[in-house]
Each structure stands twice: as structure tokens, then as C-alpha cells.
Structure 1
Amino acid sequence: MPETDYQLLQEQAAALLAGETDWVAMTANLSSLLFHSLPAVNFAGFYRLKAGELLLGPFQGRVACMHIALGNGVCGTAAQRQTTVIVPNVHQFAGHIACDSASNSEIVVPVFKAGQLWGVLDIDSPELARFSAADQAGLEALVALLFPAPTSLTED
């Protein structure tokens, strides 16, 4: 599989997000950009931390779990640890939540706003071991574009 050009994705995402302050609009467009740009993915979307759990936000892909407790599944684990989690084989991850049986690997990247956990970016693939350290670095840089300043996002 060819390497993803994260520099190009960064430029495209920056152009899409420029001047926008609504989190729904920004995460909707970023999830679409990722879903249609990354090879071999079957889900790309956001979960927002709300009332102590992860709540489904904008995404591309099949229907998804709407509520995930912190510490549960790959998303809840990444949120609880506040660090990116790459799972080469989700079927070997204790507590994996199977929203789509076609998913075989997953990467979850925490999203921070003003230094606090805001939510996570979740990307699934039907391929085993789809995600690498290069994906981690590229995706972490992309989600950092969402909150460039502490007061840049509206909370509608």
C-alpha cells in the first residue's frame, strides 16, 4: 500500500477548516476528507467527550456505536489514556467493541482543546495491521488543526 501524503492532507484540511469555528462543521469535513483520502479504511469519525462518556459525532462509514464508556474498547481506552492507540488486530484487543464486523485494525487519536481531552478520532480498516507510526504522526498533526486557539470553537 502506498504511503499516505500527510503533508498534502494537512494542506487540504487547513484550507477546509480555515475561518470555521463550528465543531460539527469542522469534524464533519475532516472525517469526510480522511475517509475518502486514506486507502483501505471503512470508518473515519469523531467521538466527543460529553458527560463522562464518548458520544458519536460526525463520521463516514457504516452505522456506529453511539455511546462508549471511558476505558471500553479502543476508543474508550485511548480517551482514558489520552494517547493514540494503534491496534493491528482488533479481534485480539481485550474489550474491543465490534460496531462493524468488517473492521480488522484500528487507530484512535485523542483530540485536545485548550489542553483538555475533547474527544477522539477513530479510524477503522478491513485490513490487518493497516496503521503505522507514520499514520499516527500524520493524524495527530491533522487533529491539532481543529483547535489552534483555546477559544476557537463554538459549543453548540
Structure 2
Amino acid sequence: MSIDNEKTDFYHSLTKQAQALIGDERNLVANLANLSALLFMSLDDVNWVGFYLVDENELVLGPFQGKPACIRIPIGKGVCGTAALNRTTQIVADVHQFEGHIACDAASQSEIVIPILSGRRLIGVLDIDSPIVERFDSVDGLGLQQIVDVLQETIC
């Protein structure tokens, strides 16, 4: 079995765990807290997993696992703000090469950010950092999108 197939199977299993964890719960904060804990304990080589939520023209820190983080990020700034502005997943192999990167933790070397939507409305982003360069790839992007999709189904 190839590494990509193993990762795909891993994310399929993780998505099922996320579905079971969330169940019919509609409370956004509770779901974000549990998902950040699930992802932090399940993913290898990550040093921060959390959510930023939209508050007017900014992203504000939500539930997370890891070291204390930046509290507010302007939409359009940094990796999180870029993902929010463009509503597209951002996979950054080396954060030091990303113009305008906001360094909340100097140990972070790579990052993936996935927008969270309710219909066409931006709710926030899932942000995951790694202390390893090139930690994330398109398979991670697709797998994590499945988990965000589970979350999006609970947002009214």
C-alpha cells in the first residue's frame, strides 16, 4: 500500500471518529474544542491545531491545542487571513517563504489552513502548524477538508 493510500485510509478513519465525536451536537464551540483535541492527538508532527472564527474583518482565536497563539488576525493577512479572504485551502511547505506570514510560534515551519463555510458565509478557519518543513500535502488537504465538511454540516 502506498503512503498516499495509507494517509487516505487514516483520514477516512479520522473522519468517522469526528462524526462520532460530534454526533448531533450543534454547539460550535463544543465541536471546535473536541475536533482540535482529536486532531492534535491523532496527527503526527504537529505543534498547533486550532480554529479562528470570523469577527467582522478579523479572525479571532477559538478553541485550540498547543502553545498560546495570536488572538486576532486581519482577514487577508498571513496564511489564515489569506485562506479566509480567498476561501481556499492554503498549504504552505515553508512558512518562512510565505510573504506576510504571522509567526505565533517560532517553532512552526509549515502550515495548512482550511476555510469553514456555512453556505457561502465564512465562519472561520482550521489552522494546523508543524515544526517540520513540507509536513502537509494535497492528501492532508483532502483529508482535513472531509473533517471540516463534518463540522460544516452542524453549522446552522
On the 8 A contact 1:108/1:120 being kept in 2, the answer is: yes
TM alignment of 1:19-34, pairs within 5 A: 19-34=24-39
Where 2:112 maps in the other structure, the secondary structure is strand
Can you give the 5+ residue segments of structure 2 that lack an aligned partner in the other structure?
A: none
On the 8 A contact 1:114/1:150 being kept in 2, the answer is: no
Where 1:101 maps in the other structure, the secondary structure is coil
Which residue matches 1:61?
Answer: 66
Deviation at 1:148, TM superposition (A): 1.3
Where 2:81 maps in the other structure, the secondary structure is helix
Where 2:129 maps in the other structure, the secondary structure is strand
Structure with more of its chain in helix, by fraction: 2
Aligned AA (1:99) = C
Which residue matches 2:81?
Answer: 76
> Residue deviations 1:1-55, cap 9 Å, x none?
x654001101100000002110000000000100110000000000001112100
Which residue matches 1:139?
Answer: 144
Counterpart check, 1:123 vs 2:118: no
Matched residues in 2 for 1:42 and 1:150: separation?
Answer: 27
CA RMSD of aligned residues (A): 1.1
Counterpart check, 1:93 vs 2:92: no
Moved segments of 4+, more than 2 Å:
none
Matched residues in 2 for 1:136 and 1:128: separation?
Answer: 16
Deviation at 1:149, TM superposition (A): 5.7
Which residue matches 2:49?
Answer: 44
TM alignment of 1:7-26, pairs within 5 A: 7-26=12-31
Matched residues in 1 for 2:85 and 2:149: separation?
Answer: 19
Matched residues in 1 for 2:62 and 2:155: separation?
Answer: 20
Q: How many residues align?
A: 150
Can you give the 5+ residue segments of structure 1 that lack an aligned partner in the other structure?
A: 152-156
